[in-house]
A = this chain, B = another copy of it.
């Protein structure tokens, strides 16, 4: 018999603490061109210097800086133009005292030169001399080898999500292939005798399989691969068989629906009947979202199963609050999006909290002059439309009786990864 403790509602922190048991899914090798948004599975060090050579960052003239000292519009210096450095090749000659070569942005500096005079501060004369109207310091308008990245430098740790700028830097280093964590495969199962497929015409008492579509879209947005496992009636054998198949196919199982007492019991029994299964959480201290289940399945590599509440708003909130961190854990992402998911706003009305539960209220953001208001969008958690009208969630912490109109709140935005 499960102990009483077993049925105590678990806090969000208690649920998240269980995630340490689950390890990132496997590794695959990817081409850099398709690695945007993916998570590195191994640290990357710079195999070479970037830039690889002394490089002009302006159009102008390669000079020895000391040759320009004292130059001004009133007292220019004159240097002898010895030609130009073509793009993409090493210069065939150097710059001696009193000499200069034309360079374009990105060209390699010739030996002897230690600065570039921008074209704006020069004039060319018919006798082949260049007039310098401004002194330059050594190092001006150029990049030194390794200034962007030095050879051997550790660039990124494992767990780093690759944004466009990371892709750009890896391209500059010639890193064409890299090891990334695979996208977690997420089996999505809908359960319930009342659920019918999208293309069915529901009879009275029946509803379409919307929660599975919502969860699948969240999974895809957060970098997972949703696998639709269809609709299972409230039948032990069918449920157990589908769970076993999902366990083979996926890294994470989401079972949606079954929030009524009888069906929830059926789901629990079917999970417990799988070999090496362990129910970790049964009921969470969240509102909405109480009838959430977390289990660990399998004997080799543990795989998580999350049982989502049947009400769409409850399921969506549980996915945001508990499902997303679990998916990112499996995806190997560390330090993911510490910013940007939370926007400060001012609450536009009083909100009462839920006793003994962390309360998540849907809000819509509204800008009025310089104030960003968070307008609560209320409605039972059986409805989808309040979720559609919302931009994010405001959390009322456990033990807080409520939040007041005019208080600054952190709005946890929907979306992003």
CA distance A340 to B216 in the complex (A): 23
Interchain CB contact under 8 A, B32 and A171: no
Instruction: Tell me whether A57 and B165 are in contact in the complex, defined as CB-CB below 8 angstroms, given that A88-B206, A174-B208 are known contacts.
Output: no
Q: Which residues of B contact A192 (CB under 8 A)?
A: 87-88, 106
Query: Which chain B residue lies CB-closest to A222?
Result: B164
Instruction: Tell me whether A168 and B32 are in contact in the complex, defined as CB-CB below 8 angstroms, given that A259-B105, A260-B59 are known contacts.
Output: no
- Stretch in contact with the other chain, from A6-14, A143-151, A236-244, A296-304: A143-151
Interchain CB contact under 8 A, B234 and A172: no
Q: Which residues of B contact A216 (CB under 8 A)?
A: 33, 36, 167
Interchain CB contact under 8 A, B311 and A339: no
A39 within 8 A of B: no
A218 within 8 A of B: yes
A77-107 contact mask (Cβ, 8 Å, vs B): 1 or 0: 0000000011111110000000000001111
A163 within 8 A of B: yes
CB interface residues, A 11-51, toward B, < 8 Å: 32-33, 36-37, 50-51
CA distance A170 to B213 in the complex (A): 9
**CB of A346, distance to nearest CB on chain B (Å):** 12
CA distance A134 to B288 in the complex (A): 23
Instruction: Tell me whether A207 and B51 are in contact in the complex, defined as CB-CB below 8 angstroms, given that A119-B261, A164-B221, A414-B165 are known contacts.
Output: yes
- Stretch in contact with the other chain, from A61-69, A267-275, A378-386, A399-407: A378-386
Interchain CB contact under 8 A, B384 and A57: no
Interchain CB contact under 8 A, B213 and A165: no
Interchain CB contact under 8 A, A205 and B87: yes
Instruction: Tell me whether A213 and B168 are in contact in the complex, defined as CB-CB below 8 angstroms, given that A53-B204, A203-B89, A204-B90 are known contacts.
Output: yes
CA distance A209 to B106 in the complex (A): 13
A217 within 8 A of B: yes
Q: Which residues of B contact A205 (CB under 8 A)?
A: 53, 85, 87-91, 107-108
Q: Which residues of B contact A207 (CB under 8 A)?
A: 51-52, 55, 106, 172
Interchain CB contact under 8 A, B262 and A168: no
A75 within 8 A of B: no
Interchain CB contact under 8 A, B193 and A86: yes
**CB of A254, distance to nearest CB on chain B (Å):** 13
- Stretch in contact with the other chain, from A122-130, A194-202, A277-285, A326-334: A194-202
CB interface residues, A 128-185, toward B, < 8 Å: 143, 147-149, 155, 162-174, 176
Q: Which residues of B contact A310 (CB under 8 A)?
A: 105-106
Q: Which residues of B contact A394 (CB under 8 A)?
A: none
A305 within 8 A of B: no
Q: Which residues of B contact A210 (CB under 8 A)?
A: 168-169, 171-172
CA distance A299 to B290 in the complex (A): 60
Q: Which residues of B contact A195 (CB under 8 A)?
A: 88
Q: A85-B205, A167-B216, A172-B384 are in contact. List 5 more A-B contacts (CB 8 A).
A: A105-B260, A106-B259, A143-B383, A163-B217, A340-B343
Chain A residues with a Cβ under 8 A of chain B: 32-33, 36-37, 50-53, 55, 57, 59, 85-91, 104-108, 119, 143, 147-149, 155, 162-174, 176, 192-196, 198-218, 220-221, 228, 234, 259-263, 310-312, 316, 338-341, 343-344, 365, 367, 372, 380-385, 387-388, 390-392, 411, 413-416
